[in-house]
Amino acid sequence: MTLFLEQMLNGLQLGVMLFLMAAGLTLIFGIMGIINLAHGSIYMVGAYAGTLVIGQTGSFLLGIAGALGAAAVTGVVMEMVVIRRLYRRDHLDQVLATFAIILILNQLVTILFGRQPLFVPMPPLLAGSVELLPGLVYPVYRLSIIVVGLLVAAGLYVLINRTRIGMLVRAGSTNRDMVRALGVDIRMLYTVVFGLGALLAGLAGLMAGPILAVQVGMGEQILITTFVVVVIGGVGSIRGAFFASLIIGVVDTMLRAYLPGLLRQIMVGSEADALGAGISSMGIYLLMALVLLVRPKGLFAADS
Amino acid sequence: MNGSSTFRLVLCLFVLVALVALPVFADATGQPALTSLATRILIYGIAAASLNLVLGYGGMVSFGHAAFFGIGGYVVGILYQHYAAGEPLFGFIPGSNQLLVTLPAAILVSGAFAALIGALSLRTSGVQFIMITLAFAQMLFFLFVSLKAYGGDDGLIIRRANEVPGLNMRDKQTIYYVCLTAALVFFVLLWRVVNSRFGNVLVGLRQSERRMAAIGLPVYRYQLAAFVISGMGAGLAGALMANFMRFASPDMLHWTKSGELMVMVILGGVGTLFGPLAGAAVFIILETVLAAWTEYWQLGVGAVLLFVVLYTHGGVQALALRLAGRRA
Amino acid sequence: MTAPILAVRGLVKRFGGLLATDAVDLDVRAGEIHALIGPNGAGKTTLISQLFGELRPDGGTIELDGKGIDGLATAERVSRGLARSFQITCLLSDYSVRDNVAIAVQVRQGHSFRFLANVRADRQLRAEADALLADAGLAERADEVVANLSHGERKQLELVVALAGRPRLLLLDEPMAGLGHAESQQMIAMLRGLKQTVAMLLVEHDMDAVFKLADRISVLVYGRVIATGSPDEIRAHAEVRKAYLGEGDEAC
Whether residue A224 and residue B138 make contact (CB cut-off 8 A), yes or no, is yes
**Looking at the complex, does the CB of residue C118 fall below 8 Å from at least one CB of chain B?**
yes
Neighbour subunits, C (≥3 Cβ pairs < 8 A): B
pLDDT per position in chain C (252 positions), as tens?
A: 578 999 999 999 998 888 999 999 999 999 999 999 998 888 999 999 999 999 999 999 999 998 999 989 999 999 999 999 999 999 999 999 999 999 999 999 998 999 999 999 999 999 999 999 999 989 999 999 999 999 999 999 999 999 999 999 999 999 999 898 988 998 999 999 999 899 999 999 888 899 999 999 999 999 999 999 999 999 888 888 887 665 555 554
Q: pLDDT class for A189, splitting at 50, 70, 90?
A: confident
Contacts of B203 in chain C (CB under 8 A): 94-95
Asked whether the whole model's pTM tops 0.95, one would answer no
pLDDT at A30: 82
Which three-class secondary structure state does DSSP give residue A120? Answer: coil
Predicted confidence band of residue A59 (pLDDT cuts 50, 70, 90): confident
Q: Are B34 and B281 in contact (CB under 8 A)?
A: no
Task: Write down the pLDDT at residue B146.
Answer: 85
CA distance B258 to chain A (A): 11
User: What is the interface pTM, i.e. ipTM, of the complex?
Assistant: 0.91
pLDDT tens digits, A85-101: 888 888 889 999 999 99
State residue A268's pLDDT score: 78
- Give the pLDDT score at B66: 97
Of A96, A107, A282, the CB nearest to B143: A282
Contact criterion met (CB below 8 Å) for C12 and C59? yes
Any idea which of A147-161, A180-194, B286-300 has the lowest mean pLDDT?
Answer: A180-194
Q: Which of A167-171, B34-38, C54-58, C180-184 has the lowest mean pLDDT?
A: A167-171
Q: Check pLDDT > 60 for residue A154.
A: yes
Q: How many C-beta atoms surround the C-beta of residue A296 within 10 A?
A: 17
Cα C55 to Cα C67: distance, rounded to the nearest angstrom:
19
* C chain contacts of residue B192, beta-carbon cutoff 8 Å: 115-118
CA-nearest residue to A271 within chain B is: B148
How many inter-chain contacts (B to C, CB under 8 Å) are there?
94
Confidence check: pLDDT of B317 > 80: no
By the 10 Å C-beta count (0-12 exposed, 13-18 middle, 19+ buried), B189 is classed as middle
DSSP-derived letter for residue A83 is G
pLDDT digit string, tens, across residues A104-132: 999 999 999 988 888 888 888 888 888 87
Smallest CA–CA distance from B129 into chain A, residue: A231
Residue B49 to residue A95: CA distance in whole angstroms: 18
B122 to chain A: closest CA residue:
A296
Average pLDDT for residues B194-200, to the nearest whole number?
96
Q: Per the CB < 8 Å rule, is B306 touching A102?
A: no
* Average of per-residue pLDDT across A290-302: 84
Q: Chain B residues contacting A, CB < 8 Å?
A: 55, 61, 63, 120-121, 123-124, 126-128, 130-132, 134-136, 138-139, 142-143, 145-149, 152, 255-256, 259, 262-263, 266, 270, 296, 298-299, 301-303, 305-306, 309-310
Q: Do C73 and B197 touch (CB under 8 A)?
A: no
Cα C3 → chain centroid: 20
What is the number of alpha carbons within 13 Å of residue B195 lying toward its C-beta? 12
What's the rounded Cα separation, in Å, for the pair B47 and A253? Answer: 36
In this complex, whether A and C touch, counting 3 or more CB pairs under 8 angstroms, is no
Contacts of A35 in chain B (CB under 8 A): 127, 130-131
Three-state SS for chain B is CHHHHHHHHHHHHHHHHHHHHHHHHHHHCCCCHHHHHHHHHHHHHHHHHHHHHHHHHCCCCCCCCHHHHHHHHHHHHHHHHHHHHCCCECCCECCCCEHHHHHHHHHHHHHHHHHHHHHHHCCCCHHHHHHHHHHHHHHHHHHHHHCHHHCHHHCEECCCCCECCCCCCCCHHHHHHHHHHHHHHHHHHHHHHHHCHHHHHHHHHHHCHHHHHHCCCCHHHHHHHHHHHHHHHHHHHHHHHHHHHCEECHHHHCHHHHHHHHHHHHHHCCCCCCHHHHHHHHHHHHHHHHHHHCCCHHHHHHHHHHHHHHHCCCHHHHHHHHHHHHHC
Mean of all residue pLDDT scores within chain B: 91
Task: Check residue B327 and give its pLDDT.
Answer: 39
The answer on pLDDT for B234 being more than 80 is: yes
Partner-chain contact B146 A281, CB within 8 Å: yes
Across the interface, whether the CB atoms of B61 and A92 are under 8 A apart is answered yes
The reply to whether residue B211 touches residue C92, judged by beta carbons under 8 angstroms, is: yes
Examine the pLDDT at A174 and tell me if it is beyond 80: no
Which A positions 222-241 lie with beta carbon below 8 A of chain B? Answer: 224, 227-228, 230-231, 235
Chain A contact set for B148 (CB, 8 A): 270-271, 274-275
Neighbours of B, requiring at least 3 CB pairs below 8 Å, are A, C
Spatial separation of the C-alpha atoms in residues A290 and A107, rounded to whole Å: 37
CB contact under 8 A, B123 and A91: no
The partner residue sitting opposite B266, judged by closest CB among A96, A220, A281, is A96
Q: Does pLDDT of A173 surpass 80?
A: no
For chain A, list the strands marked E by DSSP: 129-133, 136-139
> Which of B136, B146, B256 is opposite residue A285, by nearest beta carbon?
B136
Q: Chain B contact for C189, CB < 8 A?
A: no
Query: Across the interface, do A100 and B152 touch by the CB < 8 Å criterion?
Result: no
Do B289 and B303 contact (CB within 8 A), yes or no?
no
Do residue B148 and residue A220 have CB atoms under 8 angstroms apart? no
| Angle at alpha carbon of residue A291, lines to A287 and A297, rounded to 5° | 135
pLDDT for residue B328 = 33
